[in-house]
């Protein structure tokens, strides 16, 4: 059985509160999280997305993995974690997806003069910080499909040295969900349209499954603390033109996704259509943006499948 659903999301300016209110006025709040508005989707949009999907062959069905690299520009050990994430992504191209998620007030809030930009996604970054106790743990930390790390007391978050083992074990699993993301983007109107096709290959009795969608931007250049730098040559240990990869810019269905189905049966399918009004090109470089889509268990938050699709 196939189910179709439609959700259209539009950004609304937010007043940034909390600790940012005390920052100097010249700080740049680069990544305000849009509020979401739900509108009706027209047949023209669904036909366009269906046609775009049909022009590309279905991807090979394999189990994929999402590494969430919880990081911050003032975290001196975080470049080492980023390198680990990049090495996993390059080792398993197309199967390991990595996103940098900037979190905590201490490590990610703007600090003049070197760190004027805030890469956090308000609400989402705060909820992740609170859920995984990241401010108290310290950074870098990360999750791999939010699955438990056996060597870290089955915690879903751990330091980067433990990521490779869980990546390997997760990739070895037989896929239980087929997931496909097809984006379309109009560079004049800045409208992102997205079709997500989900098929459950095995039944999940009693489980509620959630659909998560992120927009990430690659190759953001800014300052980064890096403790591997020689303090004699660089006393502040700051890389002024550090390249941040796949930085989370928005979570279109909330921090932990939105409910898709209760107790899916084997063979059950869903087609979901989304629209999102992206910020101006001067704010987000759409040519470096992509969408990350995942399916997760509502209770455990563990992801069962993930895909990434670059904006055309």
Q: Sorting pLDDT into bands at 50, 70 and 90, what band is 295?
A: very high
pLDDT tens digits, residue range 72-124?
999 999 999 999 999 999 999 999 999 999 999 999 999 999 999 999 999 99
Residue 48: its pLDDT value, please? 96
Q: Is residue 220 part of a domain?
A: yes
| DSSP string covering 246-281 | SEEEEETT-TT-EEEEESPPTT-EEEEEEEEEPPPT
Q: Is residue 8 part of a domain?
A: yes
Q: Sorting pLDDT into bands at 50, 70 and 90, what band is 1?
A: low
Q: Is residue 21 part of a domain?
A: no
Q: Is residue 178 part of a domain?
A: yes
Please, what is the average pLDDT of the chain?
90
Q: Is residue 19 part of a domain?
A: no
Over range 128-132, report the average pLDDT. 98
| Percentage of the chain modeled with pLDDT above 90 | 85
For 220-242, letters b (16+ CB in 10 Å) and e give bebbbbbeebeeeeeeeebbeeb
pLDDT tens digits, residue range 4-47?
776 656 443 222 222 322 223 334 456 654 444 333 457 889 99
- Structural domain span for residue 39: 2-14+29-310
Q: Is residue 39 part of a domain?
A: yes
Q: Is residue 50 part of a domain?
A: yes
Over range 241-245, report the average pLDDT. 98
| DSSP string covering 28-39 | B---PPPP----
| Percentage of the chain modeled with pLDDT above 70 | 88
Asked if 76 contacts 227 with a C-beta cutoff of 8 angstroms, the reply is yes
Q: Is residue 22 part of a domain?
A: no
Residue 65: its pLDDT value, please? 98
Residue 195: its pLDDT value, please? 96
Give the whole-angstrom CA distance, residue 301 versus residue 145.
9
Residue 224: its pLDDT value, please? 98
Give the whole-angstrom CA distance, residue 311 versus residue 263.
32
CA atoms within 13 A on the CB side of 251: 23
pLDDT tens digits, residue range 172-198?
999 999 999 999 999 999 999 999 999
Tokens standing for 77?
Answer: 């050990």
The number of folded domains in the chain is: 1
What phi and psi values does residue 306 have, to the nearest 5 degrees?
-150, 145
């Amino acid at each position: 059985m196939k189910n179709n659903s439609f959700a259209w999301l539009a950004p609304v300016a937010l007043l940034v509160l909390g600790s940012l209110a005390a920052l100097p006025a010249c700080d740049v709040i680069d990544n305000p999280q849009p509020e979401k508005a739900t509108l009706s989707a027209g047949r023209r949009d669904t036909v366009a997305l269906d046609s775009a999907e049909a022009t590309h062959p279905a991807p090979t069905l394999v189990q994929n993995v999402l590494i969430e690299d919880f990081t911050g520009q003032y975290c001196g050990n975080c470049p080492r974690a980023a390198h680990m994430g990049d090495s996993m992504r390059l080792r398993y191209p197309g199967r390991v997806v990595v996103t940098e998620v900037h979190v905590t007030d201490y490590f990610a809030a703007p600090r003049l003069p070197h760190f004027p930009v805030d890469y956090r996604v308000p609400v989402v970054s705060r909820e992740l910080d609170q859920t995984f106790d990241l401010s108290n743990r310290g950074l870098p930390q990360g999750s791999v499909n939010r699955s438990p790390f056996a060597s870290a007391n089955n915690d879903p978050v751990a330091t980067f040295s433990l990521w490779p083992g869980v990546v390997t074990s997760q990739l070895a699993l037989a896929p239980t969900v087929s997931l496909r993301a097809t984006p379309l983007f109009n560079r004049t109107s800045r409208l992102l349209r997205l079709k997500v096709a989900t098929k459950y290959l095995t039944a999940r009795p009693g489980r509620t499954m959630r659909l998560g969608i992120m927009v990430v931007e690659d190759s953001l250049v800014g300052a980064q603390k890096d403790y591997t730098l020689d303090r004699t040559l660089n006393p502040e240990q700051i890389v002024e033109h550090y390249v941040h990869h796949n930085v989370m810019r928005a979570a279109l269905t909330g921090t932990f996704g939105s409910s898709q189905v209760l107790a899916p049966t084997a063979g059950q399918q869903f087609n979901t259509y989304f629209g999102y009004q992206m910020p101006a090109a001067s704010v987000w470089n759409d040519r470096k943006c992509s969408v990350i889509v995942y399916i997760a268990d509502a209770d455990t938050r563990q992801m069962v499948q993930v895909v990434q699709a670059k904006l055309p």
